[in-house]
Protein backbone atom coordinates (compact mmCIF):
# COMPACT_ATOMS: atom_id res chain seq x y z
CA UNK A 1 0.00 0.00 0.00
CA UNK A 2 2.67 2.51 0.99
CA UNK A 3 4.68 1.45 -2.08
CA UNK A 4 1.72 2.26 -4.28
CA UNK A 5 1.25 5.69 -2.73
CA UNK A 6 4.98 6.37 -2.97
CA UNK A 7 4.78 5.35 -6.61
CA UNK A 8 1.78 7.57 -7.32
CA UNK A 9 3.53 10.47 -5.65
CA UNK A 10 6.78 9.99 -7.59
CA UNK A 11 4.69 9.42 -10.69
CA UNK A 12 2.92 12.72 -10.25
CA UNK A 13 6.30 14.46 -10.14
CA UNK A 14 7.25 12.76 -13.40
CA UNK A 15 3.86 13.68 -14.80
CA UNK A 16 4.34 17.38 -14.00
CA UNK A 17 7.70 17.38 -15.77
CA UNK A 18 6.38 15.27 -18.64
CA UNK A 19 3.60 17.82 -19.18
CA UNK A 20 6.25 20.44 -19.90
CA UNK A 21 7.89 18.23 -22.52
CA UNK A 22 4.64 17.22 -24.14
CA UNK A 23 3.03 20.68 -24.24
CA UNK A 24 6.13 22.27 -25.75
CA UNK A 25 6.39 19.41 -28.24
CA UNK A 26 2.72 19.68 -29.15
CA UNK A 27 2.71 23.42 -29.64
CA UNK A 28 6.24 24.41 -30.67
CA UNK A 29 7.01 21.03 -32.35
CA UNK A 30 10.36 20.78 -30.59
CA UNK A 31 11.96 18.63 -27.91
CA UNK A 32 13.13 20.96 -25.18
CA UNK A 33 16.02 18.99 -23.72
CA UNK A 34 16.80 21.87 -21.37
CA UNK A 35 13.52 21.21 -19.56
CA UNK A 36 15.14 18.99 -16.90
CA UNK A 37 17.57 21.77 -16.07
CA UNK A 38 14.69 24.13 -15.34
CA UNK A 39 13.98 21.77 -12.40
CA UNK A 40 17.60 22.16 -11.30
CA UNK A 41 17.26 25.95 -11.41
CA UNK A 42 14.08 25.59 -9.34
CA UNK A 43 15.93 23.68 -6.63
CA UNK A 44 18.67 26.33 -6.47
CA UNK A 45 16.06 29.07 -6.32
CA UNK A 46 14.63 27.29 -3.27
CA UNK A 47 18.12 26.86 -1.79
CA UNK A 48 18.98 30.54 -2.19
CA UNK A 49 15.65 31.91 -0.94
CA UNK A 50 15.72 29.60 2.09
CA UNK A 51 19.23 30.82 2.89
CA UNK A 52 18.12 34.46 2.51
CA UNK A 53 14.81 34.46 4.38
CA UNK A 54 13.95 30.98 5.57
CA UNK A 55 10.24 31.00 4.67
CA UNK A 56 9.28 27.88 2.65
CA UNK A 57 6.31 29.62 1.03
CA UNK A 58 8.50 32.46 -0.21
CA UNK A 59 10.99 29.90 -1.52
CA UNK A 60 8.30 28.03 -3.42
CA UNK A 61 6.92 31.23 -4.96
CA UNK A 62 10.46 32.31 -5.85
CA UNK A 63 11.12 28.97 -7.57
CA UNK A 64 7.96 29.29 -9.66
CA UNK A 65 8.72 32.89 -10.64
CA UNK A 66 12.38 32.24 -11.46
CA UNK A 67 11.59 29.12 -13.53
CA UNK A 68 8.72 30.74 -15.43
CA UNK A 69 10.82 33.77 -16.35
CA UNK A 70 13.76 31.54 -17.28
CA UNK A 71 11.55 29.35 -19.51
CA UNK A 72 10.17 32.39 -21.32
CA UNK A 73 13.62 34.00 -21.71
CA UNK A 74 15.18 30.79 -23.04
CA UNK A 75 12.37 30.49 -25.58
CA UNK A 76 12.73 34.11 -26.74
CA UNK A 77 16.53 34.15 -26.86
CA UNK A 78 17.45 30.62 -27.95
CA UNK A 79 14.48 29.04 -29.73
CA UNK A 80 12.44 31.84 -31.30
CA UNK A 81 15.19 32.89 -33.74
CA UNK A 82 15.16 29.29 -34.98
CA UNK A 83 11.46 29.19 -35.83
CA UNK A 84 11.33 27.52 -39.23
CA UNK A 85 14.88 26.16 -38.95
CA UNK A 86 15.54 22.43 -39.24
CA UNK A 87 14.43 20.37 -36.21
CA UNK A 88 18.02 19.19 -35.75
CA UNK A 89 19.29 22.75 -35.27
CA UNK A 90 16.63 23.36 -32.61
CA UNK A 91 17.43 20.09 -30.87
CA UNK A 92 21.15 20.89 -30.71
CA UNK A 93 20.35 24.36 -29.39
CA UNK A 94 18.23 22.81 -26.64
CA UNK A 95 21.10 20.52 -25.64
CA UNK A 96 23.38 23.57 -25.65
CA UNK A 97 20.98 25.47 -23.37
CA UNK A 98 20.97 22.45 -21.06
CA UNK A 99 24.77 22.46 -20.70
CA UNK A 100 24.78 26.24 -20.37
CA UNK A 101 22.37 26.16 -17.43
CA UNK A 102 24.30 23.36 -15.73
CA UNK A 103 27.59 25.21 -16.17
CA UNK A 104 26.17 28.47 -14.83
CA UNK A 105 24.84 26.62 -11.78
CA UNK A 106 28.24 25.04 -11.27
CA UNK A 107 29.95 28.44 -11.52
CA UNK A 108 27.67 29.97 -8.92
CA UNK A 109 27.10 27.09 -6.52
CA UNK A 110 29.97 24.72 -7.20
CA UNK A 111 29.70 21.11 -8.34
CA UNK A 112 29.18 19.52 -4.92
CA UNK A 113 25.71 18.40 -3.91
CA UNK A 114 24.21 20.68 -1.27
CA UNK A 115 21.49 19.96 1.27
CA UNK A 116 18.23 21.90 0.86
CA UNK A 117 15.96 21.89 3.86
CA UNK A 118 12.57 23.10 2.72
CA UNK A 119 9.85 21.67 4.95
CA UNK A 120 9.96 18.57 7.12
CA UNK A 121 6.40 17.28 7.33
CA UNK A 122 7.15 14.13 9.33
CA UNK A 123 4.97 11.08 8.83
CA UNK A 124 1.67 9.50 9.79
CA UNK A 125 0.81 5.91 10.66
CA UNK A 126 -2.36 4.14 9.56
CA UNK A 127 -2.47 0.76 11.26
CA UNK A 128 0.61 -1.02 10.00
CA UNK A 129 1.56 1.40 7.21
CA UNK A 130 3.66 4.50 7.73
CA UNK A 131 3.48 7.25 5.16
CA UNK A 132 5.47 10.43 4.73
CA UNK A 133 3.14 13.40 4.82
CA UNK A 134 5.25 15.03 2.09
CA UNK A 135 4.31 12.12 -0.19
CA UNK A 136 0.63 12.74 0.39
CA UNK A 137 1.04 16.50 -0.06
CA UNK A 138 2.86 15.91 -3.35
CA UNK A 139 0.16 13.60 -4.60
CA UNK A 140 -2.72 15.92 -3.68
CA UNK A 141 -1.17 19.18 -4.87
CA UNK A 142 0.03 17.62 -8.12
CA UNK A 143 -3.47 16.24 -8.74
CA UNK A 144 -4.96 19.71 -8.22
CA UNK A 145 -2.40 21.30 -10.55
CA UNK A 146 -3.08 18.73 -13.28
CA UNK A 147 -6.84 19.08 -12.92
CA UNK A 148 -6.47 22.86 -13.14
CA UNK A 149 -4.33 22.58 -16.24
CA UNK A 150 -6.83 20.25 -17.91
CA UNK A 151 -9.68 22.63 -17.21
CA UNK A 152 -7.62 25.57 -18.46
CA UNK A 153 -6.84 23.81 -21.76
CA UNK A 154 -10.36 22.50 -22.31
CA UNK A 155 -12.50 25.36 -21.12
CA UNK A 156 -10.74 28.66 -21.74
CA UNK A 157 -10.37 30.54 -24.99
CA UNK A 158 -6.59 30.61 -24.54
CA UNK A 159 -6.55 26.86 -23.91
CA UNK A 160 -8.46 26.20 -27.11
CA UNK A 161 -6.11 28.52 -28.96
CA UNK A 162 -3.26 26.30 -27.69
CA UNK A 163 -4.97 23.20 -29.06
CA UNK A 164 -5.51 25.01 -32.36
CA UNK A 165 -1.84 26.01 -32.62
CA UNK A 166 -0.70 22.48 -31.81
CA UNK A 167 -2.93 21.08 -34.52
CA UNK A 168 -2.35 23.54 -37.35
CA UNK A 169 -0.16 26.59 -36.85
CA UNK A 170 -1.08 28.20 -40.17
CA UNK A 171 -4.81 27.80 -39.70
CA UNK A 172 -4.48 29.17 -36.16
CA UNK A 173 -2.72 32.25 -37.58
CA UNK A 174 -5.63 32.72 -39.99
CA UNK A 175 -8.05 32.73 -37.02
CA UNK A 176 -6.11 35.67 -35.63
CA UNK A 177 -4.35 33.68 -32.92
CA UNK A 178 -0.93 35.23 -32.19
CA UNK A 179 1.02 31.99 -32.50
CA UNK A 180 4.30 33.32 -31.11
CA UNK A 181 2.59 34.50 -27.93
CA UNK A 182 0.91 31.13 -27.51
CA UNK A 183 4.28 29.38 -27.81
CA UNK A 184 5.81 31.73 -25.22
CA UNK A 185 2.89 31.08 -22.89
CA UNK A 186 3.39 27.35 -23.29
CA UNK A 187 7.03 27.63 -22.28
CA UNK A 188 5.96 29.69 -19.28
CA UNK A 189 3.39 27.13 -18.14
CA UNK A 190 5.77 24.20 -18.74
CA UNK A 191 8.48 25.90 -16.70
CA UNK A 192 6.08 26.74 -13.86
CA UNK A 193 5.13 23.04 -13.75
CA UNK A 194 8.83 22.17 -13.66
CA UNK A 195 9.22 24.54 -10.70
CA UNK A 196 6.41 22.74 -8.88
CA UNK A 197 8.16 19.45 -9.68
CA UNK A 198 11.42 20.80 -8.26
CA UNK A 199 9.67 21.65 -4.97
CA UNK A 200 8.11 18.16 -4.74
CA UNK A 201 11.48 16.63 -5.63
CA UNK A 202 13.11 18.46 -2.72
CA UNK A 203 10.40 17.17 -0.38
CA UNK A 204 11.48 13.64 -1.29
CA UNK A 205 15.24 14.14 -1.64
CA UNK A 206 16.36 17.30 0.19
CA UNK A 207 19.55 17.93 -1.78
CA UNK A 208 20.59 19.44 -5.09
CA UNK A 209 23.51 19.63 -7.52
CA UNK A 210 23.97 21.16 -10.99
CA UNK A 211 23.01 17.89 -12.67
CA UNK A 212 20.05 17.13 -10.40
CA UNK A 213 17.57 17.69 -13.23
CA UNK A 214 19.09 15.25 -15.70
CA UNK A 215 17.70 11.93 -14.50
CA UNK A 216 14.18 13.11 -13.59
CA UNK A 217 14.22 15.05 -16.87
CA UNK A 218 15.07 12.02 -18.98
CA UNK A 219 12.62 9.82 -17.06
CA UNK A 220 9.83 12.34 -17.50
CA UNK A 221 10.68 12.55 -21.18
CA UNK A 222 10.38 8.76 -21.30
CA UNK A 223 7.03 9.08 -19.55
CA UNK A 224 5.87 11.64 -22.12
CA UNK A 225 6.86 9.33 -24.99
CA UNK A 226 5.23 6.31 -23.32
CA UNK A 227 2.01 8.29 -22.94
CA UNK A 228 2.24 9.61 -26.50
CA UNK A 229 4.24 12.81 -26.96
CA UNK A 230 2.00 15.79 -27.60
CA UNK A 231 -0.85 14.29 -25.57
CA UNK A 232 -1.59 15.96 -22.23
CA UNK A 233 -3.50 13.06 -20.62
CA UNK A 234 -0.81 10.80 -22.09
CA UNK A 235 1.91 12.64 -20.16
CA UNK A 236 -0.08 12.30 -16.95
CA UNK A 237 -0.69 8.57 -17.43
CA UNK A 238 2.88 7.92 -18.60
CA UNK A 239 4.31 9.76 -15.60
CA UNK A 240 2.15 7.96 -13.05
CA UNK A 241 2.82 4.60 -14.69
CA UNK A 242 6.57 5.13 -14.63
CA UNK A 243 6.55 6.32 -11.00
CA UNK A 244 4.55 3.33 -9.81
CA UNK A 245 6.73 0.88 -11.72
CA UNK A 246 9.85 2.51 -10.31
CA UNK A 247 8.67 2.25 -6.70
CA UNK A 248 7.31 -1.27 -7.11
CA UNK A 249 10.57 -2.49 -8.67
CA UNK A 250 12.56 -0.84 -5.91
CA UNK A 251 10.49 -2.56 -3.23
CA UNK A 252 11.16 -6.03 -4.66
CA UNK A 253 14.73 -6.98 -3.68
CA UNK A 254 15.31 -9.15 -6.76
CA UNK A 255 14.32 -6.33 -9.14
CA UNK A 256 15.74 -3.39 -7.23
CA UNK A 257 19.13 -3.18 -8.98
CA UNK A 258 17.43 -3.27 -12.39
CA UNK A 259 14.82 -0.58 -11.72
CA UNK A 260 16.06 1.97 -14.26
CA UNK A 261 16.70 -0.72 -16.85
CA UNK A 262 13.14 -1.98 -16.44
CA UNK A 263 11.72 1.53 -16.85
CA UNK A 264 13.54 2.17 -20.11
CA UNK A 265 12.77 -1.34 -21.37
CA UNK A 266 9.11 -0.51 -20.86
CA UNK A 267 9.59 2.43 -23.21
CA UNK A 268 11.09 0.16 -25.86
CA UNK A 269 8.32 -2.40 -25.51
CA UNK A 270 5.57 0.21 -25.73
CA UNK A 271 7.15 1.86 -28.75
CA UNK A 272 7.42 -1.52 -30.46
CA UNK A 273 3.76 -2.31 -29.87
CA UNK A 274 2.38 1.20 -30.33
CA UNK A 275 4.91 3.56 -31.94
CA UNK A 276 2.84 6.65 -31.14
CA UNK A 277 2.72 5.89 -27.39
CA UNK A 278 -0.32 4.95 -25.34
CA UNK A 279 -2.52 7.93 -26.20
CA UNK A 280 -0.59 9.32 -29.14
CA UNK A 281 -2.39 9.92 -32.35
CA UNK A 282 -1.07 9.15 -35.74
CA UNK A 283 -1.15 12.40 -37.64
CA UNK A 284 -2.08 12.25 -41.25
CA UNK A 285 0.43 13.99 -43.43
CA UNK A 286 -1.27 16.72 -45.40
CA UNK A 287 -1.34 16.21 -49.12
Among 104, 141, 163, 248, binds another protein (CB under 8 A): 163
- 160 near another protein, rule: CB under 8 A: yes
Name the residue nearer to another protein (CB basis): 41 or 177.
177
User: In angstroms, what is the minimal distance from the CB of 284 to another protein?
Assistant: 9
Three-state secondary-structure class, residue 183: helix
Name the residue nearer to another protein (CB basis): 115 or 170.
170
Which of left, alpha, beta for 193 (phi over 0: left; psi -120 to 50: alpha)?
alpha
Q: 28: closest CA among 152, 227, 192, 189?
A: 189
All residues at 6 or more sequence positions from 112 whose CB lies less than 8 Å from its CB, including other chains: 209
Inter-residue contact 210 to 111 (CB < 8 Å): yes
Phi, psi at 208, each rounded to 5°: -145, 160
User: Looking at 35-43, 88-96, 155-163, 238-246, which segment touches another protein (CB under 8 A)?
Assistant: 155-163
- 112 near another protein, rule: CB under 8 A: no
User: In angstroms, what is the minimal distance from the CB of 164 to another protein?
Assistant: 5
- 168 near another protein, rule: CB under 8 A: yes
Three-state secondary-structure class, residue 175: coil
User: In angstroms, what is the minimal distance from the CB of 176 to another protein?
Assistant: 4
- 104 near another protein, rule: CB under 8 A: no
Among 15, 164, 195, 270, binds another protein (CB under 8 A): 164
The torsion defined by the Cα of 142, 147, 153 and 158, in degrees rounded to 10, comes to -80
Inter-residue contact 96 to 79 (CB < 8 Å): no
Q: Which residues pair with 115 in a beta bridge?
A: 207
Among 116, 146, 179, 244, binds another protein (CB under 8 A): 179
- 262 near another protein, rule: CB under 8 A: no
Residues that bind another protein (CB under 8 A): 157, 160-161, 163-164, 167-168, 170-179, 286-287
Amino acid sequence: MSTLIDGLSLGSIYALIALGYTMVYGIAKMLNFAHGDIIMVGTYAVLTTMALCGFPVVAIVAAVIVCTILGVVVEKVAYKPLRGASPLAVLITAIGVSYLLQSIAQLIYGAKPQPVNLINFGHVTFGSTTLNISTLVTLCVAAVIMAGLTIFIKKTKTGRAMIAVSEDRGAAELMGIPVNNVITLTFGIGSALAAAASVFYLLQIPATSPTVGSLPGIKAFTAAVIGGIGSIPGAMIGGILLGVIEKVCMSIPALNPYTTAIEFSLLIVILLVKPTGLLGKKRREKV
